[in-house]
Structure 1
Amino acid sequence: MAPSARFAVGSEYAELSRQVRAAGLLARDRGFYWRRASGCIAVFAACWAAFVLLGNSWFQLAVAAVLAAVVTQFGFLGHDGAHRQVFDSPRWNEWSARILAGAFAGLSYSWWASKHNRHHSGPNQQGKDPDIGPGVLAFTPAVAAGRSGLAAWLTRHQGWAFFPLLTLEGLHLHIASVQTLVQQKGAPHRWTELGLVTGRLAANLAVVLVLLPPGKAAAFLAVQLGLTGVFLGGSFAPNHKGMPLVPRDARIDFLRRQVLMSRNVDGGRLTDFAMGGLNYQIEHHLFPSMPRRHLRLAQPIVRRFCAEHGVAYTQTSLLSSYGIVVRYLNAVGLRARDPFTCPLVALYRA
């Protein structure tokens, strides 16, 4: 019997789960997260101490760059807590995400959890995945086709605008976080979270404006927000953009839904750190609650299983993935007839 025929499609993921669980990779890794959170808090405090000591100096821009990097790491920790990777208790995970993301990064746990959960339930599925919904960029031909005038011209060149626009992503994330907490009155612990987010943003702004003259303060905030957007956006963008789009009403089993629409990124420990483990996007989508440090260990198991069952497993370098994103966005903007090769079509035609 061929390997792909051993299990019915509906039971393939169950078998993969048994293999991963047997390897102990779904067990919590609290030591890693305590060390990472403590380290980030220490660097965060050191940055602000250096800021005070440096005073009116252009060397403050280096502090801004380090702050952007550590804020990105707090964003990753909030992401992991929201996925319940840290603690056994859902409540502890929720509050760790709320505090780390809100108080240290100025990001809303409630906004992120709602948006990100919808993404995980239907990656790259039109009408379901908010990450490919209408926005400044058009991620689907249908969105691009509905634009005219200046918007259409910008969309035709959107691939080249992608990285410059990432510099605004940090500001967008802060604004979206506050808007969500102000507008969604039913959000759990709304006032506490709003206090954490706005308190963090207000304190950051106040300290910078008080201790630096206007020109240096503006440069500091531009570097801090701009690099935060590049670091965070540059970590999420390579994972799905340019992978197959799924029609709104398509029915696909969970294993293929997560693997065929995701892309892994090559790299060593530095890539793991810089991308918060999101370079193992396939494994993360298959096992969202798997601790970040275990994703690397799960990769050989998942990749071998996909090969045995004829499921396309995509992995490329970071630079190549960025090239794919730029070409894909330009192709969508130009309304190319076939902007990508769809593994789903090839699979079911076969």
Structure 2
Amino acid sequence: MQYVDSATVPRDAASPEAGQSATFAELSRRVREEGLLDLCPRYYLAKLALNTALLGAGLTAFFALGATWWTLAVAVWMGFCGGQSAFMWHDAGHKAMFRSKRLATAVGLVHANLINGASFGWWVNHHNRHHSHPNHLDRDPDIGRRTAIFDRKQYAARTRRQRFIVRHQGVLFFLLLVCELFKMQMTAYRTIARRELRRPVLEASLIASRAALYLGLVFWVLTPWQAVTFVLVQQACQGVYFGMIFAPNHKGMELRDGEAESLSWLERQVLTSRNIRPSPLVDFLYGGLNYQIEHHLFPAMPQKNLPRVRELTLAYCAELGIPYREVGLLRSYAEVASFLNEVAAPLRARETG
């Protein structure tokens, strides 16, 4: 396994020097001229302070309410806070926050391992490969780790239980998002056990500390049944939040297959990605990932600069005649569900026919 962590992520994985096309080089030039790739550490310090305040508010409410079923509202809130903290490890992993590699890694480890029980080292490796080969049936690990299929040729590799899910994936995909955080945590345990990380002891220690502190507080303050329900609700809400953030980004967009790469870097990122139409609320809830096209073109770009880059990218794609997909929030999920159902429909017909 090739180890990749935040210390080795290139500052601009989409630079012409990285072997991209001259077509992309022109867009990159326009972006650089406006200083949009410059880091914004003060912005991220404010974001980190806000996330700390959100978590602090949740903890205050948890202790203030005590052993009551009303704490389930706090569980929902903490699921939301966990999702917000994931944006911090995401941007730290892309080195979009600070110049210091150590500081970026520290932010990632705290927000992934200590706050969420996930593995920052595994995630960076996984996510970098996704950025290099978005929506590629064999090379994109975000496709490979899903039970859902995106092309019918994937059906043969599924087990009997998985095939039932696949046949009804237009609906079950969204229902199973409740397990998304749990799956990431289980992946962390397996990756650490196989020692496939640069820092297995550190990552394991942070995850174990998180589990001890989290479960200790929950079972100390709440009754056993309340504690179990609190954990389940928090995990489920955060899993759904994770899934709803990532689901619209690529599913239902152009798929790629085979060894030959016929698309330029610009086309590869634009044609395989979908934006959600921005607004102040959408930008906050999605942590800038609603600008998925721009994020894939410039993964090391600070979140606050994505709206302006969207304007530049829209204009540039219009000049070149490259389709640029951006839809409203509800429409994005409708497109995902429709695509998954379309892939599964012939399989359902074959099983019932």
Q: Give TM-score scaled by structure 2 length.
A: 0.88
What does the per-residue CA deviation read over 1:268-323, in whole Å, with 9 as the maximum and x for residues that have no partner? 01111111110000000000000011111110101110110111111111111111
CA distance, structure 1, for counterparts of residue 158 and residue 41 of structure 2: 48
Q: Name the residue aligned to 2:5.
A: none
Q: Name the residue aligned to 1:71.
A: 82
Further displaced range: 66-75 or 101-110: 101-110
Match of 1:311 among 307, 322, 342: 322
SS at 2:92 equivalent: helix
Match of 1:240 among 232, 250, 262: 250
Q: Name the residue aligned to 1:3.
A: none
Q: Name the residue aligned to 1:200.
A: 210
Match of 1:226 among 210, 228, 236: 236
Further displaced range: 176-185 or 268-277: 176-185
8 Å contact from structure 2 (residues 75, 230) kept in 1: yes
8 Å contact from structure 2 (residues 147, 165) kept in 1: no
Tell me the amino acid that sits aligned with residue 334 of structure 2.
G
CA distance, structure 1, for counterparts of residue 346 and residue 306 of structure 2: 36
Structure 1's 102 and 154: CA in aligned 2 closer, same or farther, altered over 3 A?
closer
Q: Name the residue aligned to 2:198.
A: 188
Q: Name the residue aligned to 2:127.
A: 116
Q: Name the residue aligned to 1:210.
A: 220
CA distance, structure 1, for counterparts of residue 161 and residue 194 of structure 2: 31
Structure 1's 94 and 149: CA in aligned 2 closer, same or farther, altered over 3 A?
closer
Further displaced range: 132-141 or 74-83: 132-141
Further displaced range: 281-290 or 261-270: 261-270
CA distance, structure 2, for counterparts of residue 183 and residue 149 of structure 1: 27
Over the matched positions of the two proteins, sequence identity in percent amounts to 39
Structure 1 residue 43 displacement after superposition: 2.2
Q: Name the residue aligned to 1:343.
A: none
What does the per-residue CA deviation read over 1:186-222, in whole Å, with 9 as the maximum and x for residues that have no partner? x222211211122112311121122211221122112
Tell me the amino acid that sits aligned with residue 224 of structure 1.
Q
What does the per-residue CA deviation read over 1:80-117, in whole Å, with 9 as the maximum and x for residues that have no partner? 00000001233322222122222222221111101101
What does the per-residue CA deviation read over 1:140-177, in whole Å, with 9 as the maximum and x for residues that have no partner? 32212444755433311111112210111111111112
Match of 1:133 among 122, 126, 144: 144
Structure 1 residue 263 displacement after superposition: 0.4
Match of 1:81 among 60, 82, 92: 92
Match of 1:289 among 296, 300, 306: 300
- Alignment map for 1:10-21 (pairs within 5 Å): 10-21=21-32
Further displaced range: 21-30 or 205-214: 205-214
SS at 2:295 equivalent: helix
Gaps of 5+ in 1: 1-8, 337-350
Q: Name the residue aligned to 1:346.
A: none
Match of 1:104 among 101, 115, 126: 115
Match of 2:54 among 34, 38, 43: 43
Q: CA RMSD in A?
A: 1.6
Match of 1:326 among 328, 337, 341: 337
Structure 1's 202 and 49: CA in aligned 2 closer, same or farther, altered over 3 A?
same
Q: Name the residue aligned to 1:250.
A: 260
Match of 2:64 among 53, 62, 71: 53
8 Å contact from structure 1 (residues 144, 333) kept in 2: no
Further displaced range: 233-242 or 152-161: 152-161
Structure 1 residue 335 displacement after superposition: 4.1
Q: Name the residue aligned to 1:142.
A: 153
Further displaced range: 322-331 or 44-53: 44-53
What does the per-residue CA deviation read over 1:113-153, in whole Å, with 9 as the maximum and x for residues that have no partner? 01101100000012100111153222332212444755433
Runs of 4+ in 1 over 3 A off after TM superposition: 145-151
Q: Name the residue aligned to 1:5.
A: none
Residues matched between the structures, number = 327
Further displaced range: 204-213 or 220-229: 204-213
Q: Name the residue aligned to 1:62.
A: 73
Q: Name the residue aligned to 2:4.
A: none
Further displaced range: 267-276 or 136-145: 136-145
CA distance, structure 1, for counterparts of residue 49 and residue 189 of structure 2: 26
CA distance, structure 2, for counterparts of residue 134 and residue 288 of structure 1: 22
